[in-house]
Amino acid sequence: MQLALKNVTKRYGKNVALDGLTVTFTAGIYGILGANGAGKSTMMNLITDNIARDGGSITFDGHEILEMGSDFRAMLGYMPQQQGVYGEMTVESFVTYMGRLKGIHGKKLSEQVADVLTLTNLYDVRHKKIGGFSGGMKQRVLLAQALLGDPNVLILDEPTAGLDPKERVRIRGFIEELAHDRIVLLATHIVSDIESIANEVMLLKEGKLIRMSPPEELIASIPETWEPVAYRLSLEDVYMYYLGG
Amino acid sequence: MGEWKRIFCSPRRLLTLGLPAVLSVVFFFFGRMPYFGKDSFDVLIKNERYYADTVERVRTMSADDAYSMLDDERRRLDDYYRWRQNGGYVDYISVPQEQFECELAENEYLSSLSDLGREAAASAISASESRLDEIREQLDYISGYSDYLDRIQKQAAMQSMTSVFGSANTFSHRNIEKTAAEFDTLRGVEVRFGADRAYEGWIEFELADYLYLFVIVIFVFAFLEEKRAGLSGVVRSCRYGRAQLCAVRVCILASASVLGVVLIYGANLILSVLLSGNFTDMGRSVQSLECFRTLTEHVTVGGWIAEYLLVKAASGFTVGLLLWCVLGVITNAQYSTAVLGVVVAVEYALFAFLPVQSIFNPVKYFNLFSYIRTSELYTEYLNINLFGYPFGIRQLALCSLPVFAAVFLALVLLTSWKRRPEGSRNVLSRIAVMLDTAADKMRRRLSVGGWETYKTLVYQRCIFIIAIVVIAGGSLGFTRSVEVKNDDVWYSAYLRDITGPITSKTDEYIKTARENAARNDELMRALDRVETHINELRENAAADGNGYEPWIADDKPLRAVYGPDAVDAQCINAAVAMVFVIFLCAAMMPFEQKSGVVFMLRSQKRGRAGVLGQKLLLAAAMTAVAFGSVYMREYTVFTVSFSGVDINAPIRAFECMADSPFNVRLWQYLLILYILRYVMMFALACTVLCVSSYIKTVETSYIALTVLFGIPALLYSLGVSAMRYVSPVRAVSAAEQMWAYFRDGGVHHLIPLAVWAAAGALTLTHLIFKWCMNKRQRAGV
């Protein structure tokens, strides 16, 4: 399983959002780091074919994804950054609807809906309208729909934003489990999420790939003279110790 | 100051305040129009001026002279109508031709009708006759008013003597006494003749009440905006975020109530008086207007108007406070609309459907709608039974108005001050979850198409729009009268008798008819025409040689519904059909944009062609709803109203289509016409979907598409001919173009249809590319 971007370019007028990006993903978790406007969401939107690229190719197992069309999308799970949901739908309706759009039917759909709702801790609120949910709850609804259909490529844009630390750790662990036999692209500003689960981290700056290595290699690559680094327990550890159960 | 600015400086709010005022004036105008078509405004103005002028003439006459003048005027109108309808033929008028011509020249009103088309003039005459009837009824009322008061006293005296009402301690007895005493005070009130239509039309314009309610609801919703945005906690945490903010809002609501009254009722009153009356008539006693014959208040028309406007503003304020109370205690903003709908529906049902005699009639009059339809408190005299004593509904409602206002004000202040936005008991949420649990079981079974339909019907509230479309379609008119020469009456009668294929039986019929009509020149002339027509049809059939079957058919029904005589009606109906399509399809794409799910949908396997395909199918179904509401009704009217029409007749058999180069039957012609109309309407639906896919909110989509397509179509229908280049209304109507094409075979007649079909195909292609994108990308990479 291989997802390859070759010389992918995207411009918005005179601004270059992605500048000849070449990168290959195989099964595993890829953390994508970059400042705002670095090109993270643009890269994800190009892979999901939500925006048109200006050059280059994106292939999955050697096939151009545009040629594959719905065959590629059948293997795709996408959780966008914006919390776009139908506020009047209940959780179950929304996830079932997305399941239909993924081409899942009948008993299989009901089972998968129940599974993903349990995984994302939404089963007990499945008959409530999404419109009344907090940001973190909506985030879990979006994650649940992305997980439907056992996707080979899972694209998660800020999946843990708005979640409480306990839930974040739970989701993080779950994503880690998923990654054994699929490609997971994870864009986030919460560095600790990536640090703990990503096999490799991509550093994007102004549309260019600066570096792509495992987290420990990236940490090791920082010269000691740059800034004194000392390990200390984070607040997250404190939360988990006292409140995490 | 900040809250005043937030409420009154918001363009959206100003629009929602201005729009009802504009709609009120527009519908008030439309409601008075005796005719819809190219000269409708002209007909309206002429008709209203005719009323006002006749009132002025009657005012200076004795009653007998006035009745006599009204009779003469009525006869002149009848003569003019017959003369105009018979294409200037003078045989049917009731006076000698010279006298008629002299009257026509001298009568300013009738002379002015010569500028109008035949159909418009007929409507103007018919409306003028109604105005004369109204004036006659006014005269009857004025002369009989004192008798009416005497009758009430006599009736009261008689009823008091009967055993049923005689017992002094019963409600009935007290009611009779109270009624007699109140009406007795009206003796001596002088009732005077005047231009009542100006005031009665204004009072009876019910829509203004609902538009005023809409304005109040909009302002109340504005106070609850922070709840919808989840900012209640923030606002309540501010220093002035509780009672003080609430007090400011109460002042804003009071101002909005007054402003709404001025804009909606004030504008209509001025318009109505300018149109068909004069302001000097306001000095009469209010009982001079027949609709106030039961009002026992001593006040002039002007005084009553001032009182009414004041009560309207106070009622609006009180209703606003009540709605604010109800919505304020509901924690979940999503249920506010539903609760508001239920409250209004229950109150309306009690107000409209509870019988006056019911023992529950206090809830009919102590009702939200008593304060919305305030005029009924003045035009209906009724005492209701409260603990055995009669109380007038008007006195009760008006006296309780300040009490209600004070109670609701206290509740609103208390709610804003004490009610916490979070953590309160939320019974509605529990009910909603129960309902959603049941609904989820049904929704699990929906396919992608089912989901798209469900989203459109339920989430986008399209089910209500469909109901409105179906109801509104019922008020459309489809036929226009066709000009007939006097001998056409017999000619048509003979044609009706022998409708069908021309056979030996036809010849036998003609022979028998000639024997029967031997001494009547008029009948013989008609029979000659029939025979000539039959011979022409036979000759045409013989010359054609393509299996053309000679057939007798009367062409008037066809002309009355589909022909050039009915172009006005066709255009208006096409414009209405377009507005229906716009309202049924305009929300489909912006709903996805507004929900922010477009990228997510497009990332699913069936989220592109699958979703778009279903949306297009749904648009086709919605187009069918609009089509059925307008054009299936039209076809039903054609076949039911003109049951003698045989749709199997070849169209060449109709005199108006005798030279048609096409050898098709009527049903084929109609089928082509209706298919073309559907295609044109679907082209509009595709254009609506395409344009609306660039719009991010549903409300903007409705407004933008109505401005872009609906208003030009309506303006063209009402006679603004420049709009023909802007609006596809002629293509959607298709009747005019098809008629011309089938008459002479000129392909150029089909250009508007071809252009609009091409535009529809283009927008559809663009929409497919925009939503699915793959092909364009492939080309670009």
Counting Cα atoms < 13 Å in the Cβ hemisphere of B414 gives 9
Q: How far apart are CA B288 and CA B194, in angstroms?
A: 8
Task: Check CB contact of A222 with chain B, cutoff 8 Å.
Answer: no
B614 → chain A, closest CA residue: A101
pLDDT of residue B103: 84
Angle among Cα B21, B27, B29 to the nearest 5 degrees reads 105
B-contacting residues in A 56-75 (Cβ below 8 Å): 56-57, 66-67, 69-70, 73-74
Find the closest chain A residue to B602 by CA distance. Answer: A50
Q: Does A134 touch chain B (CB under 8 A)?
A: no
Q: What type of residue sits at position A139?
A: Q
Contacts with A162 (C-beta within 8 Å, 6 or more apart), sequence order: A134, A135, A136, A138, A139
Q: Quick one: which of B533, B538, B536 has its CA closest to B550?
A: B538
A83 touches chain B (CB under 8 A): yes
Put simply, whether A45 touches B (Cβ < 8 Å) is: yes
Q: Does B612 touch chain A if contact means CB atoms closer than 8 Å?
A: no
> How far are the Cα atoms of A86, B137, B176, B502, B549 from residue B667, in angstroms, in the given order?
47, 49, 66, 19, 15
- All residues of chain B having their beta carbon less than 8 Å from the beta carbon of residue A101 are 448, 601, 604-607, 610-611
> What distance lies between CA B292 and its chain's CA centroid?
27
Select the residue of B436, B605, B776 nearest A103 (Cβ to Cβ).
Answer: B605
Q: Is the pLDDT of residue A240 over 60?
A: no
Contact B600 A80 (CB under 8 A): yes
Q: What share of chain B is helix, strand, coil (3-state, %, to 5)?
A: 75, 0, 20
Residue B482, SS3 per DSSP: coil
User: Model confidence over B554-590: pLDDT tens digits?
Assistant: 888 888 899 888 888 899 999 999 999 999 999 999 9
CA distance B412 to chain A (A): 24
Nearest CA in chain A to B445: A106
Per cent of chain B over pLDDT 90 is: 40
Contact B624, B679 (CB under 8 A): no
Cα of first residue to Cα of last residue in chain A, in angstroms, is 38
B423 and A CB contact within 8 Å: no
B294 pLDDT more than 60: yes
Q: Cβ contacts (< 8 Å) between A89 and chain B: which residues?
A: 459
B251 or B539, higher pLDDT:
B251
Q: Is A244 on the interface with B (CB under 8 A)?
A: no
Q: Which residues of chain B lie closer than 8 angstroms to A85, CB-CB?
A: 595-597
Q: Nearest 10 degrees: CA dihedral of A60, A64, A66, A67?
A: -110
pLDDT at B516: 86
Report yes or no: B428 at the A interface, CB cutoff 8 Å.
no
Is A129 in contact with B432 (Cβ distance < 8 A)? yes
Section B43-53 average pLDDT: 91
pLDDT of residue B285 exceeding 90: yes
Residue B755 in this model has a pLDDT that exceeds 70? yes
Name which residue leads in pLDDT, B546 or A9: A9
Q: Does A21 touch chain B (CB under 8 A)?
A: no
pLDDT tens by residue, B253-274: 999 999 999 999 999 999 999 9
Higher per-residue confidence, A86 vs B659:
A86
**Residue B519 has what pLDDT?**
74
Tokens representing B617 are: 């199918």
Q: Which of A66-70, A239-243, B79-83, B315-319 has the highest mean pLDDT?
A: B315-319
> How far is the CA of B696 from the CAs of B271, B589, B700, B748, in angstroms?
38, 9, 8, 39
What confidence score (pLDDT) does residue B526 get?
85
Of B597, B610, B776, which has the smallest distance from its Cβ to A52's Cβ?
B776
B599, B611, B778: residue with CB nearest A45: B599
Cα dihedral across residues B701, B707, B712, B714: positive or negative = positive
pLDDT over 80 (residue B741): yes
* Cβ-Cβ contacts under 8 Å for B426 (sequence gap 6 or more): B331, B332
Residue B550 · residue B537 · CB < 8 Å: yes
Q: How far is CA B19 from CA B5, B13, B16, B27, B238, in A?
A: 20, 10, 5, 12, 34
Q: What are the distances in angstroms from CA A235 to CA A31, A191, A193, B746? A: 22, 14, 14, 84
The residue type found at B105 is A
- The reported pLDDT for the residue numbered B147 is 92
**Domains detected in chain A:** 1-69+183-245 (3.40.50.300)
DSSP assigned state of B190: P
A10 vs B contacts (CB less than 8 Å)? none
> Residue A126's closest chain B neighbor by CA?
B437
Select from B453, B594, B597, B611 the residue whose CB has the most chain A CBs within 10 Å, as the one to mutate to test that interface. B597
Question: Measured between CA atoms, how close is A11 to chain B, in angstroms?
Answer: 13
Q: Report d(CA B779, CA B781) in Å as an integer.
A: 6
> How far is the alpha carbon of A206 from chain B, nearest alpha carbon, in Å?
22
Residue A118: what pLDDT?
93
Residues 6+ apart with CB under 8 A from A238: none
Whether residue A145 lies within 8 A of chain B, CB to CB, comes out as: yes
The verdict on a CB contact (< 8 Å) between B605 and A73 is yes
Residues of chain B with C-beta less than 8 angstroms from the C-beta of A97? 446, 451
Using the predicted structure, report yes or no on whether residue B767 has a pLDDT greater than 70.
yes
Q: For residues B104 and B88, is the Cβ–Cβ distance under 8 A?
A: no
Q: What residues contact residue B108 under an 8 Å CB cut-off, 6+ apart?
A: none
Query: B448–A101: do the CB atoms touch at under 8 Å?
Result: yes
Size of interface A-B (CB pairs under 8 A): 120
B437 touches A: beta carbon within 8 Å = yes
Rounded to a whole number, what is the distance in Å from the CA of A233 to chain B's nearest CA?
A: 34
Q: What value does the mean pLDDT of chain B take?
A: 86
Contact across the interface for A101 and B332, Cβ inside 8 Å: no
In the prediction, which pLDDT does A108 show?
Answer: 93
Is B731 or B541 the better-scoring residue by pLDDT? B731
**Mutation site, A41, A49, A101, interface B, largest B CB count within 10 A:** A101
Q: Do B781 and A87 touch (CB under 8 A)?
A: no
CA angle (A221, A226, A232) in 5-degree steps: 85
Q: How many CA atoms lie within 13 A of B594 on its CB side?
A: 19
0.80 surpassed by pTM:
no
- CB proximity under 8 Å: A 90-119 to B: 90, 92-93, 96-98, 100-103, 109-110
Partners of residue A59 on adjacent β-strands: A4, A64
At A195-237, the pLDDT tens digits run 888 889 888 888 899 889 888 888 777 766 655 555 555 545 5
Chain B: residue whose CA lies nearest to A113: B444
Q: Do B604 and A82 touch (CB under 8 A)?
A: no
Residue B10: which pLDDT band, with cuts at 50, 70 and 90? confident
Instruction: Give the distance from residue B442's alpha carbon to the nearest chain A alpha carbon, in angstroms.
Output: 10
User: What is the pLDDT, as a whole number, of residue B534?
Assistant: 87
Choose the closest CB to A101 out of B458, B598, B601.
B601
HSE toward the beta carbon, residue B196, CA cutoff 13 A? 27
**Separation in Å, CA of B743 to nearest CA in chain A:** 51
pLDDT greater at residue B487 or residue B329: B329
pLDDT band, residue B341 (cuts 50/70/90): confident
Instruction: Tell me which chain B residues have a C-beta less than 8 angstroms from the C-beta of A54.
Output: 780
Write down the pLDDT at residue A231: 55
User: For B334, which of A73, A86, A132 is closest by C-beta distance?
Assistant: A132
